[in-house]
Structure 1
Amino acid sequence: MSRVAYYRVSTDAQSIEAQRQALGGSFDREFTDEGISGATLAADRPGFAKLLDYIRDGDTLFVYALDRLGRDALDVQATVRKLLDRGVTLDVRGLGPIGRGVGELIVAVLAQMADMERQRIKERCDSGRAAAKASLAATGMTHRGKAGLGRPFAADAKTVAEWRKANGASIAQTMAHFGISKATVSRYCSA
């Protein structure tokens, strides 16, 4: 009877540490998916797939929140049912152990709310992107005062390439001079 934890964050900029601290406790195994959207089906996430291979009848799976299992309502419900069918107890922080009947009803409602939130996030992103494009076309600046869409360049590519060539500098020297990553130097100098 193992105590198993599962953590998921949607972007590489986020960390699972807050989830780990909130769940506390010592676990026999921990599985993670970092930088993977909740829109990705649970079984298609590498960490969760490994969890499914590991977990057995009598084990307890701990998750920080139901939306960590996913943001697709039908997938979350199917995942919970699959776990319960295997004899696994699902323990969601703040809800406690989820069982058949009322527990599945609660899961259905919360999974639907997570799905709705995913749709609202997408709508907000699409709306912001459209406003930025419209403002950029009209004024040359986005609605937030940026000169373009996307992440700003770390440095001017032409300047980096010319400096490296003029100084016969290595990638490491160019990285240090401009304070940019190896990948950025390589990308700028190969263009």
Structure 2
Amino acid sequence: MTQTILYARVSTADQNLDHQRTQAEAAGFIIDEVVADHGVSGVSTKLAERAEGKRLFDKLRHGDVLVVRWVDRLGRDYKDVTDTIRLLMRRGVVVKTVINSMTFDGATTDPMQEAVRDALIAFMAATAQAQAETTKEAQKAGIAASKGDPRKYRGRKPSYDKDMLDAVVGMLALGKGTTEIARECGITRQAVLRIKADPVAAQATLERWI
């Protein structure tokens, strides 16, 4: 019997795992079980090395569906994320994201679909790593700026949150237009264009306000 498992991860004590399940259920997923890692960094710890990550690998079987909020829950290292998704697909596990409703399925044999799927995996994994690196740099800069006026350092507050940013990046990867993305995400075209021009800088701006 196949099952749908949500994998959730939070890296700090003040983050909330329940939010990730609520988001998944609101997106229409019927979750059979939640596997979650608390206080684990996606940068320094691979999924297979996390306590619950190991259990996740043991539980997943051919035909199962693995749901994650976004690929950054699996990890923030490009090679680790791409290797993990491809390993799961080889096992016959379908990986689905809550943000942008993406599906990574190893069952397809169409060369064009495979090329698009693999390009999306690579793009999303690279973005996750870039965002992680930007977060570290923003934190370092924040510490350095704390001796002065932090309000001057933070600049203008962005009109988007983390979920919106991930959604915009994912839609851009799918080739959607600026106007369509702005309408679906509820932000201005100018905000979408800024994210499109430099998604890493957009992440850095957001980090300064979290």
Fold equivalence (TM over 0.5): yes
Using the size of structure 2 for normalisation, the TM-score is 0.61
Gaps of 5+ in 1: 136-141, 145-191
Q: CA RMSD in A?
A: 1.7
Q: Does 1:3 align with 2:4?
A: yes
Consecutive aligned runs of 4 or more in structure 1 exceeding 6 Å deviation? none
Distance between the aligned counterparts of 2:20 and 2:93, measured in 1? Answer: 21
1:95 correspondence with 2:101: yes
Distance in 1 of aligned mates of 2:9 and 2:62: 23
Q: TM-score, normalised by structure 1?
A: 0.67
Give 3-state SS (helix, strand or coil) of 1:90's partner. Answer: strand
Contact 2:93 2:105 in 1 (8 A): no
Q: 1:161 is matched with which residue?
A: none
CA drift of 1:18 comes to: 1.3
| 3-state SS, counterpart of residue 122 of structure 1 | helix
Q: How many residue pairs are counted as aligned between the two chains?
A: 137
- CA shift at 1:143, angstroms? 4.6
Q: Which has the higher contact order (CA 8 A, sep 6+)?
A: 2
Show the 5 A alignment for 1:131-150: 131-132=145-146, 135=147, 143=149
User: Which protein is bigger by CA-based radius of gyration?
Assistant: 1
> How does 1:170-185 map onto structure 2 within 5 Å?
none
Q: Please give the residue correspondences for 1:123-138 in structure 2 after superposition, counting only pairs within 5 Å.
A: 123-132=137-146, 135=147
Distance (whole Å) between structure 1 residues aligned to residue 118 and residue 13 of structure 2:
31
1:43 and 2:48 matched: yes
Kindly state the Cα deviation for residue 7 of structure 1 after the two structures are TM-superposed.
0.7
Percent of matched pairs sharing the same residue: 34
Which residue does 1:26 correspond to in 2? 30
| Cα separation, 2, equivalents of 1:121 and 1:28 | 33
Partner Cα distance (2:5, 2:126) in 1: 25
CA distance in 2, matches of 1:8, 1:77: 17
Moved more, 27-36 or 95-104: 95-104
Mind listing any 5+ residue stretches in structure 2 that lack a counterpart? 107-113, 151-210
Instruction: Specify the code of the residue in structure 1 equivalent to 2:18.
Output: E
